[in-house]
Amino acid sequence: MSRYVELAEQALHAAEGDEAEVLVQAERSGVARFAGSVVHQPTLIDNAVVRIRIVRDGKAGWAATNRVDREGLTEVARRAAEAADGARPDPDFPGVASPADYPEIGGYDEETAGLGADDQARLAAAAIEAVPDFELYGYFSSGVTELALAASTGLRAQQSLTDAVCLCLAATEGASGWAEQSAWRSTDVDPAEAARAAAETAGRTRGAVELEPGSYAAVLEPYAVAELLRWFAYDSLGAFGFLEERSYLCGRIGEQAFDPKISLADDALDSRNLPKAFDFEGTPKQRVELVEDGVLRGVVWDRLTAARAEDGQVSTGHAPADSWRYYGPLPMALSLAPGDAASTGELLERIGDGIYVTRLHYLGIVEPREGVLTGMTRDGTFRVRDGKLAEPLVNLRFTVALPDVLREVPGLGRELKLVNLSDLYDERYPYAALVPALATARFHITGSGSGPGL
Amino acid sequence: MRVYQFRHQRAKASVARVRVRDVKALAEAAVDAALGAGASYADARAVSLRRQFVITKKGQVEDVSDTESEGIGVRVLVDGAWGFAGEGRLDEAAARDAAVRACAFAHAAPGRHDTSLAPVEAQSGEYKTPVERDPFGVPLSEKIDLCLRAEEGMRHADVKVTVAMVRAQREHKVLVSSEGAAVEQELVECGGGIDAYASAEGISQIRSYPSQHSGVSGQGGWEFVEGLSLDGEAPRVGEQAAALLRADECPAGRTTIVLSPEQVVMQVHESVGHPTELDRVYGTEAAYAGTSFLSPDDLGSLRYGSELMNVTADATTPEGLGTFGFDDEGVPARREAIVEGGVLRGFLTSRETAARIGAGVGGSMRADGWSRMPLVRMTNLHLEPGDGTLEDLLADVDDGLYLETNKSWSIDDKRLNFQFGTQIAWEVKKGKLGRMLRDATYTGRTPVFWSKLDAIGGRDAWRLFGLTNCGKGQPGQEAHVSHGAAPARFRDVEVGVSA
């Protein structure tokens, strides 16, 4: 038994109530953040958090601490009980999860777990030294995340996760390009290659010009695709948005809403992603079909929202971390099926005339029910003419209804890219989307912003 | 504001009581260990943080949570390179270990390092938030009752979901530096907010009070929450959410807009606060949060907006979430002009960026808990008031819009092109509010937009809003910041942007 399960059991023993559930989330990580080709914010973190949920007389309360000695565990159990006593019974509360069998998945690599500060600095240096003609901005980070659960039902669960990420912005005045690599094995991340890819894009962005607002066909790199799907998911692909009538999927399940080429799932069991065996209440992860051949199929659920649905829903293994509880269950391993385009060049040929977007910036939800999002392009936006990349463009403001973007899709790339989606807030919990490049017939540009580069 | 900006709203369940122990000795041990490991400068922050959240939704208690976190963060300079390590155990061995690991990371950090710090007199002292009623002493039942009462007040046939939230936080921190700084602070804050989600016939609308961004918070005791009158405002919030379902969509075009104080605050945060963070100007957030359209040479000469535009950074504002005795580098709280008469007069700085630009001494360095390096952050950034009331501002609008309560927000990586949406708007015709409008948006470019500012409400109309979701940095950090503003009027603005 891992020491984190033992820790969860110790906390469980301190809990007094009708039911209790303990989650331990531990992190040992390093972030070698660089700017101007200099590591300027190197951060090492070593921490373990114990979260207890206690149920007394049908009332649930939560408390958490990172004091993991006997005194700390006793105190956190007392505070969770106090929170429960102060709460009110929730008639929908389904109780804590029962023991379950968990799938054997990957997601942990000893070599990645063993990386220390010297290694993280060395791998950051590999990226920096690969692009002498540009200044490099971004980070190399690796870490180990430990998840352990123990519940009064007898449930025990444990998983060790590793992740390595290299984010690269190659930039100078008036030019910038972006590339990244993420994996749960650090040997699958090549910082120099990511840096060179960023520099190659940056090299083409000098002399960017503005673009008339309007609707354009577009080829979206996987970075842009992942970001659009992430923001669409907040209201439309989780149980809260669905139950509370903010989701685009409300009243549309079974509808052919998107191009038949679009099949979207959430699949944390896929070893090409950053695989997870269970969610934050110990329910085994399931692959969930969200969209099949353009037909809307459903959203993701945890135990409470499934109980509230009152139509036979069951948890799909998407109970969120503490810091995401406000959003409810969300798909955090999005997987968009690939298409048949052998290359980005082929996607460009399919749209003929339009724009090419590498990466997006600062998205916002304008109108959730119709999936309307706004944001900016950045670090590699180009005009497409005659099926080829043409002049570079300044950063463009887009305001799109994502369903419109996905309604007519001339093609998707054959190759899938794992795109990091964690911004490393709160306790480390690596997650990413596995997506191809995508060509759309419609991408609505509503303005021009600043130019590329610094 | 999520990201460099406001992080997309997230509710963080949070904490318990601050533990009393001699953390200063631990911080001193960490600094000693860092100097012994080759650091030329070191500081250590020992932090204990407790947060409590109560959330009710649809008449049920959704979340009652109480979270605490404690640890020490050690920051070092070795041969001009920064290193930082955070350790979640508060004991001497852990503190020393963090110091040594921070030095090792700094040693290994690639690049040409030449960090220097603006000189500042080493401070010693204490600061405590004035509190009348300890928010952690308020019974949970009282907090839940308030939330449920507010929810009840929002009830309406078309309102499908109601949410009420109250929160409390207490942070105790000790900072010790190798230059002799030794300061101890206890910052207490609390807040709350309510939301009503209405939907019918495929239309979904939200109305919030006092803001959509987890309500508002302020430093102080429970009296701050009591002053919000969440239950008193609830009926209006519910009725407006329902009325929005039948409102017309905001038309497109160019027109005069009057913004409510809460929306002006968002405009100040995104288009003045972030671009004047000097670390962004120097590019250290380029990969994530972005940079700035400003350059160091713009100081004292760049015309940011009209002559009515006066923006002040003030870490001494009563009830401000950015109020403290000392920032996380030990620099005393100060009030300084950022924009005066429409001209850029200051940046938000750290000791490092102040040394680089050759002006100021820092004072805006803040860290999110013990496990993150301090970054240049906003403290309390205000648009100073002008004259008159909201009615006075509207009276001089022949044909325009009044927009209230932020709903969506986005701005480019240099903080130039922005687009905001508000929850509700009204037509303004011949100086009077007319029909209600939904899905209102407006867009512009920062200096052009601020040049169109032609009226600001007076001191009586000026309001302070504390927001808890300002994101920046990698690993990510959330800062709690406040902004004050009165209603403001802008001419010739593009509105009604749609997909």
- Nearest Cα of chain B lies from the Cα of A45 at a distance, in angstroms, of 5
pLDDT band at B113 (very low <50, low <70, confident <90, very high): confident
Q: Is B228 within the bounds of a domain?
A: no
Cβ pair B67:A367 closer than 8 A: no
| A12 sits in which H/E element | helix A3-14
Residue A21 has pLDDT above 70, yes or no: yes
Q: Is B319 within the bounds of a domain?
A: yes
The mean pLDDT of chain A is 97
* Interatomic CA distance for residues B238 and B242, integer angstroms: 6
Domain co-membership, B109 together with B184: yes
* Interatomic CA distance for residues B17 and A259, integer angstroms: 54
* A180, closest residue in chain B (CA to CA): B287
B259, B275, B188, B271: which is closest to B406 by C-alpha?
A: B259
Q: What is the reported pLDDT for B278? A: 98
Contacts of A376 in chain B (CB under 8 A): 410-413, 417
A128: contact with B, CB 8 A cutoff:
yes
Which of A223, A358, A360, A366 is most worth mutating to test chain B (most B CB atoms within 10 A of its CB)? Answer: A366
Cα separations in angstroms, A431 against A142, A159, A230: 13, 15, 11
Number of domains forming the structure of chain B: 2
Cβ pair A326:B10 closer than 8 A: yes
Strands (E), A235-353: 264-266, 288-292, 295-296, 334-336
Q: Select from B101, B106, B417 the Cβ nearest to the Cβ of A448.
A: B417
Residue B9 has pLDDT above 90, yes or no: no
Cα separations in angstroms, A205 against A158, A345, A384, B282: 47, 18, 13, 21
DSSP A372-429: EEEEEEEEEEEEEETTEEEEEB--EEEEEEHHHHHHS-SEEBSS-EEEE-----SS--
Cβ pair B84:A43 closer than 8 A: yes
Write down which residue in B186, B202, B218 finishes a domain: B202
* A65, closest residue in chain B (CA to CA): B68
Q: Please give the single-letter amino acid code of residue B368.
A: D
Question: pTM for this one?
Answer: 0.96
- Helix, strand, coil shares of chain B as percentages rounded to 5? 25, 40, 35
Which of A216, A326, A363 is most worth mutating to test chain B (most B CB atoms within 10 A of its CB)? Answer: A326
- Structure tokens that stand for A42 in this block: 């190197």
**B310-365 residue pLDDT tens:** 999 999 999 999 999 999 999 999 999 999 999 999 999 999 999 999 988 999 99
Phi, psi of A208 (to 5 degrees): -65, 145
Cβ pair B476:A423 closer than 8 A: yes
Q: What is the reported pLDDT for B217? A: 98
Domain co-membership, B263 together with B132: no
**B222-251 residue pLDDT tens:** 999 999 999 999 999 999 999 999 999 999
Cβ pair B412:A378 closer than 8 A: yes
Beta strand B124-128 pairing with A264-266 = unpaired
Contacts of B286 in chain A (CB under 8 A): 35, 137, 169, 171, 176, 454
Q: Is B134 within the bounds of a domain?
A: yes
- Nearest Cα of chain A lies from the Cα of B258 at a distance, in angstroms, of 20
B400: contact with A, CB 8 A cutoff:
no
Residues with Cβ within 8 Å of residue B228, at least 6 apart in sequence? B191, B192, B193, B210, B215, B216
**A418-437 residue pLDDT tens:** 999 999 999 999 999 999 99
Write down which residue in B165, B184, B202 finishes a domain: B202
Q: What is the reported pLDDT for A386? A: 98
Count CB neighbours of A91 within 10 A: 9
Residue B1 has pLDDT above 60, yes or no: no
Cβ pair A426:B12 closer than 8 A: yes
Q: What is the reported pLDDT for A310? A: 83
Cβ pair B84:A41 closer than 8 A: yes
B263: contact with A, CB 8 A cutoff:
no
CB B95 within 8 A of CB B29: yes
Domain co-membership, B43 together with B147: yes
pLDDT band at B21 (very low <50, low <70, confident <90, very high): low
Q: What is the reported pLDDT for B22? A: 87
Q: Is B1 within the bounds of a domain?
A: no
* Interatomic CA distance for residues B161 and B148, integer angstroms: 13
* B158, closest residue in chain A (CA to CA): A245
Query: Which residues between 198 and 257 in chain A have a beta carbon less than 8 angstroms from any beta carbon of chain B?
Result: 234, 244-246, 251
Domain co-membership, B190 together with B264: no
* B477, closest residue in chain A (CA to CA): A425
CATH code for the domain of B105: 3.30.2290.10
Query: Which residues between 279 and 308 in chain B have a beta carbon less than 8 angstroms from any beta carbon of chain A?
Result: 283-288, 290-291, 293
Q: What is the reported pLDDT for B18? A: 37
Cβ pair A367:B439 closer than 8 A: yes
pLDDT band at B4 (very low <50, low <70, confident <90, very high): very low
| A70 sits in which H/E element | helix A70-86
Residue B19 has pLDDT above 80, yes or no: no
All structural domains of chain A: 3-203 (3.30.2290.10), 214-448 (no CATH)
Domain co-membership, B150 together with B264: no
pLDDT band at B301 (very low <50, low <70, confident <90, very high): very high
Of all residues in chain B, the percent with pLDDT exceeding 90 is 93
Query: Which residues between 252 and 271 in chain A have a beta carbon less than 8 angstroms from any beta carbon of chain B?
Result: none
Phi, psi of B136 (to 5 degrees): -85, -10
Write down which residue in B202, B235, B263 finishes a domain: B202
Domain co-membership, B386 together with B471: yes
Domain co-membership, B258 together with B166: no
Cα separations in angstroms, B97 against B36, B428, B457: 12, 63, 54
Residue A64 has pLDDT above 50, yes or no: yes
DSSP letter assigned to residue B213: T
Q: Does the bond joining B487 to the residue before it have cis omega, within 30 degrees of 0? A: no
Residue B15 has pLDDT above 60, yes or no: no
* Average pLDDT, integer, range B207-211: 97
Contacts of B110 in chain A (CB under 8 A): 34, 38-39, 121-122, 124-125, 128-129
* Average pLDDT, integer, range A30-53: 96
Q: Is B6 within the bounds of a domain?
A: no
- For residue B246, give the 3-state DSSP assignment: coil
Cβ pair A36:B61 closer than 8 A: no
Q: Is B3 within the bounds of a domain?
A: no
| A439 sits in which H/E element | strand A438-448
Of all residues in chain A, the percent with pLDDT exceeding 90 is 98
User: Given its phi and psi angles, is residue B214 left (phi above 0), alpha (psi -120 to 50 degrees) or beta?
Assistant: left
**A161-205 residue pLDDT tens:** 999 999 999 999 999 999 999 999 999 999 999 999 999 999 999
Residue B20 has pLDDT above 60, yes or no: no
- Structure tokens that stand for A443 in this block: 């991408």
Q: Enumerate long-range contacts of A270-273, CB under 8 Å, 24 or more apart.
A: A270/A333, A270/A335, A270/A434, A271/A105, A271/A106, A271/A107, A272/A416, A272/A418, A272/A434, A273/A333, A273/A335, A273/A418, A273/A432, A273/A433, A273/A434
Q: Select from A32, A87, A447 the Cβ nearest to the Cβ of B109.
A: A32
**B390-436 residue pLDDT tens:** 999 999 999 999 999 999 999 999 999 999 999 999 999 999 999 99
* Interatomic CA distance for residues B329 and B365, integer angstroms: 6
Half-sphere exposure of B84 (CA within 13 A, CB side): 26
Domain co-membership, B180 together with B121: yes
Strands (E), B141-210: 159-177, 182-200, 203-209
The mean pLDDT of chain B is 94
Residue B2 has pLDDT above 70, yes or no: no
Q: Please give the single-letter amino acid code of residue A359.
A: R
Cα separations in angstroms, A120 against A39, A114, A188, A409, B393: 11, 11, 15, 40, 56
**B407-417 residue pLDDT tens:** 999 999 999 99
Domain co-membership, B473 together with B361: yes
Domain co-membership, B44 together with B115: yes
Domain co-membership, B150 together with B290: no
- Structure tokens that stand for B161 in this block: 């979901």
pLDDT band at B110 (very low <50, low <70, confident <90, very high): confident
A143, A226, A340, A108: which is closest to B475 by C-alpha?
A: A143
Contacts of A323 in chain B (CB under 8 A): 10, 12
> Which residue is it, tokens 């504001």?
B1
Q: Is B52 within the bounds of a domain?
A: yes
Contacts of A38 in chain B (CB under 8 A): 109-113
Cβ pair A401:B499 closer than 8 A: yes
Residue-range definition of the domain harbouring residue B430: 253-495
ipTM: 0.96
Q: Is B7 within the bounds of a domain?
A: no
- Nearest Cα of chain B lies from the Cα of A103 at a distance, in angstroms, of 30
pLDDT band at B5 (very low <50, low <70, confident <90, very high): very low
B64: contact with A, CB 8 A cutoff:
yes
Domain co-membership, B274 together with B196: no
Cβ pair B197:A244 closer than 8 A: yes
Q: What is the reported pLDDT for A326? A: 86
Query: Which residues between 41 and 70 in chain A have a beta carbon less than 8 angstroms from any beta carbon of chain B?
Result: 41-49, 51, 59-67
Residue B144 has pLDDT above 50, yes or no: yes
Stated length of chain B: 499
- For residue A74, give the 3-state DSSP assignment: helix
* Interatomic CA distance for residues B259 and A415, integer angstroms: 47
- Structure tokens that stand for B338 in this block: 């950022």
Q: What is the reported pLDDT for B112? A: 80
